[in-house]
Amino acid sequence: MTRSVRDEQASVESEEQQELRSPTGGEPERGGGGEEEEEDHLHHLEDDDDDDDDEEEEEEEEEEEDGENKPKRRGPKKKKMTKARMQRFKIRRMKANARERNRMHGLNDALESLRKVVPCYSKTQKLSKIETLRLAKNYIWALSEILRSGKAPDLMSFVQALCKGLSQPTTNLVAGCLQLNPRTFLPEQTPDLPAHLPPAGPAAYPGHFSYQSPGLTAGLPSPPYGTMEPSHIFNQVKGQPYGPLEPFFDGVLVSDGPAFDPPLSPPLSINGNFSSSFKHEAVTAADYDKSFSFSVHYGGGGAGGHAAIYGGGGSNPRCGELQVDGLMGYDGHSHHERLMNAQLNAIFHDS
């Protein structure tokens, strides 16, 4: 499920509250256990340092007065918890808590980094941890498939791969990033990814991903959607405008002006159903030459909109045409078109 950043703020707040509750930096009062419980369990604590047990001289384990038939405990004798020991224990515990907090913060930072390189990053609608991991797994798998097969997948399969095993809200979010209707690419419901992962091997993916995804019954969530920005696809690195796939964009972006816009680009301008399948199999090998590029042609508007994604050399714009029916009309902005081209190139370009 997606969640808002308010949670984050709440957590920060709770941290502050803790500080208030325990000025020394730790041991907030907790519901069930609380202070009493801690005190209780402290009595069972085996303390380590006995050097400074000044006052009360080590009453070594006052013999359990309940000397009934209980077997004597083995092991090192428990020492009575003096105030000094208690103090040391608390300090130790506080330090351990602080370390654990930092550790978890580091983990969350790493997760946040992952969110940013995975498709569908939104500052306002964060993916949950588990969904981020799932999406990342799917993303890695999908990209690996492209590299392994050397073939361009169709968009539907690619999106299906991304959404495999994701929750419905997350799937909707991904769909929103692509301005797709989830119903159009999520025909079946399947519980979890590993079960559907086809066996590895060249024969496993004859030209498309065989991903299945959880079924969707709901439409798109309300805006704001996240975006499928180019940097997600290219793992864009600072100072490396196009990322590792830069050579693929020769003659595509350069001719069209500046490279990419900063992160959080506007949503892709594809709307509506992809009711007809792409015909990218018609693209011949010759079409996938160095200068291969997609360009999106937006339909005339309305439900009857028709858009075609063209692939092919510059001489013949209709080479490798990908027909997409039902696209909502869109007044093509060169900016959007550029983004779309880049993204589609990243997805479909034959490596």
Partner DNA sequence: TAGGCCATCTGGTCCT
Partner DNA sequence: AGGACCAGATGGCCTA
| DSSP states of 261-277 | PPSSPPPPS--B---SP
Structural contact between residues 207 and 319, judged by C-beta atoms closer than 8 angstroms: no
Give yes or no for residue 1 binding DNA (CB under 7 A).
yes
| Residues 6, 8, 11, 16, CA torsion sign | negative
Give yes or no for residue 240 binding DNA (CB under 7 A).
no
Give yes or no for residue 318 binding DNA (CB under 7 A).
no
At residue 277, φ and ψ (nearest 5 deg) are -75, 150
Give yes or no for residue 93 binding DNA (CB under 7 A).
yes
CA distance 179 to 270: 5
DSSP symbol at 294: E
Token pair of 114 as six digits: 């992952």
x/- binding map, residues 106-135, to DNA, per CB under 7 A? Answer: --x-----------------x-xxxx----
Give yes or no for residue 86 binding DNA (CB under 7 A).
no
CA distance 185 to 123: 25
- Which residues contact residue 292 at a Cβ distance below 8 angstroms, ignoring those fewer than 6 apart? 311, 312, 313, 345, 349, 350
Closest approach of DNA to the CB of residue 86, in Å? 12
- Binding part of the chain for DNA, among 91-99, 174-182, 273-281, 342-350 by CB under 7 A, reads 91-99
Closest approach of DNA to the CB of residue 140, in Å? 20
Closest approach of DNA to the CB of residue 44, in Å? 8
Give yes or no for residue 39 binding DNA (CB under 7 A).
no
Closest approach of DNA to the CB of residue 65, in Å? 23
CA distance 238 to 245: 14
Residue of 32, 67, 202, 302 interacting with DNA (CB under 7 A) = 32
CA distances from 147 to 137, 153, 348 (A): 15, 11, 11
Token pair of 223 as six digits: 């805006």
Interface positions, 2-21, toward DNA (CB under 7 A): 3-4, 6-8, 10-15, 18
x/- binding map, residues 153-182, to DNA, per CB under 7 A? Answer: --------------x---------------
Residue of 73, 77, 95, 290 interacting with DNA (CB under 7 A) = 95
First to last CA, the chain: 34
Closest approach of DNA to the CB of residue 279, in Å? 38
Give yes or no for residue 75 binding DNA (CB under 7 A).
no
Task: Give the count of residues interacting with DNA (CB under 7 A).
Answer: 42
Token pair of 330 as six digits: 């869109």
Token pair of 234 as six digits: 């290219």
Q: Which residue ranges make up the site for DNA (CB under 7 A)?
A: 1, 3-4, 6-8, 10-15, 18, 26-28, 30-33, 38, 41, 48-49, 93, 95-101, 103-105, 108, 126, 128-131, 167
